[in-house]
Structure 1
Amino acid sequence: MDIKVILTVFATVFVAELGDKTQLATMLFAADKSVDKWAVFAGACLALIAASGLGVLAGGVVSNYLGPKTLSVVAGIGFIVIGCWTLWRA
């Protein structure tokens, strides 16, 4: 395994997840005093693992049809569209 890739992906995903809706939802679940915090942690971990697995599988399939530069442009346009849509709805 390439440790540089692991650290780069870890840092990117970690920073991207800080303060997002997923983390806020997890905090709300954990704030419930009647809920086992380890169960919340386990559920959140499993969800992130499943979502990341889907991302890796989708990336593997898409990379057969699109080059890295094209994929970066499409992803960038997608983020801009989502950002504009979020601002429009606000």
Structure 2
Amino acid sequence: MFANLLAIFLTVFLAELGDKTQLATVLFAADRQVHPLLVFTAAALALVASTALAVAAGTLLSRYMAFVPLKLIAGIGFVAIGCWTIYGHFQGA
């Protein structure tokens, strides 16, 4: 159980580092007119809400798509997004 919790935590934590959401949070926190605690609370609640939607969707999909290799599909999706990002980088160069 602890190993699963740790794996999920590390995966989500590392995936969130440096993404657009974190950069937006940094920009909000840099605004001196907004209290840092407000930025933290709003960002944390937004992450909790989006995670709740993802868990609900995953739970619902698992009931109807038990035979589909979801990890494989997700992996292919991440690789495709990575290739698209690399392609876009070289197109802009």
TM-score by length of 1: 0.85
Q: Which structure 2 residues correspond to residues 7-18 of structure 1 after superposition, within 5 A?
A: 7-18=6-17
Q: CA RMSD in A?
A: 1.8
Aligned to 1:24, the other structure's residue is in SS state helix
More moved, 60-69 vs 5-14: 60-69
Q: Whole-Å Cα distance in 2 between the matches of residues 36 and 26 of structure 1?
A: 12
- Counterpart in the other structure of 1:6: 5
Q: 1:47 Cα deviation (Å)? A: 0.8
Identity, % of aligned positions: 52
Aligned to 1:34, the other structure's residue is in SS state coil
| AA matched with 2:13 | F
Aligned to 1:64, the other structure's residue is in SS state helix
Aligned to 1:61, the other structure's residue is in SS state helix
Structure 1 unmatched runs, 5+:
none
Deviations 1:5-47 (A, max 9, x none): 2222111111111111111110011011111100100011011
Structure 2 unmatched runs, 5+:
none
Q: Whole-Å Cα distance in 2 between the matches of residues 87 and 66 of structure 1?
A: 31
| AA matched with 1:86 | T
TM-score by length of 2: 0.83
More moved, 17-26 vs 75-84: 75-84
Q: 1:68 Cα deviation (Å)? A: 7.7
Deviations 1:56-82 (A, max 9, x none): 111111112334870011101111222
More moved, 39-48 vs 68-77: 68-77
Aligned residues: 89
